Chains A and B, each alone.
Chain A
Amino acid sequence: MSPRAAWQLEAMGFSDVYDFVDGKVEWMGHGLPLEGKGPHFAVAGEVADRDAVLACRLGDQLSDVARHLDTVPHDYCVVLNGDDIVLGRMRRKNIQGSAGTAVEEIMEPGPTTVRPSEPAEGLLERMRKRNVPAVIVTTSKGRLMGAATQEALERLLHRASKSTSS
């Protein structure tokens, strides 16, 4: 809709027209403020927590990652490039090889991620069905935002339902 609206405005003589192509849901997904009567449409990006996911970089060695994984409750580590783009994942159970092995040699490429605009309600339902405790949330360009846990999604949906009833 917005592209057509942008062209229509130009046709009517507006000289400085912009089209925010990713739309309202992208704004929401980054937790930016909104106005309105509600109900609030809860999305995954609102609870994407950078501290809820362990990350390493291309070129890091297996021994370093294994040591970090031993100190945290997470059972995997995402592999990022220099621009924080998610390129892979390493699960604790799959860490095998010599200590000097680079992570990119054994990582699983292209792990499943969700966009920040992913509706929270449907996502939580799928996570419960598949017994997935947390999902990786990335921007549309693949940059890591964090992980959305089941608990955080439940709290978000609870708050959203309260805003409807209030």
Chain B
Amino acid sequence: MPKEVGLDEMCILVDEGAQLVEVLPPREYEEEHLPGAINIPLKTLDRRSTARLGKDRPVVVYCWDYL
């Protein structure tokens, strides 16, 4: 089951080198994104688009907010 994290835990994950994935549309990603995050829009999230991610490393997904 995916683990929900808040900002404090997120900062730790970032410091530890977790893979960051922004799932918003490309335009929003291009405007601003978390440092080091890659963009895989939710509509394109499949085995091909996630092939570059390490399956055994922590991966964090995020979008705009909690809504």
Contacts and interface: CB of A to CB of B under 8 A. Distances in A.
B36 to A, nearest CB: 8
Interface string B28-42: 011111111100101
A132 interface: no
A64 B62 CA distance: 45
B2 A23 contact: no
Given A15-B56, A18-B18, A20-B60, A1 B66 contact: no
Given A16-B56, A16-B59, A30-B7, A10 B2 contact: yes
A18 B59 CA distance: 6
Contact of B42 (A4, A16, A18): A4
Contact of A18 (B2, B32, B40): B2
Contact of B57 (A4, A16, A20, A23): A16
A24 B61 contact: no
Interface of A: 1-10, 12-28, 30, 32-41, 117
Given A5-B45, A16-B58, A21-B4, 19 more contacts: A1-B23, A1-B63, A5-B23, A5-B61, A5-B63, A6-B61, A17-B3, A19-B5, A19-B60, A24-B32, A24-B34, A24-B63, A27-B34, A34-B33, A35-B36, A35-B37, A38-B31, A40-B32, A41-B32
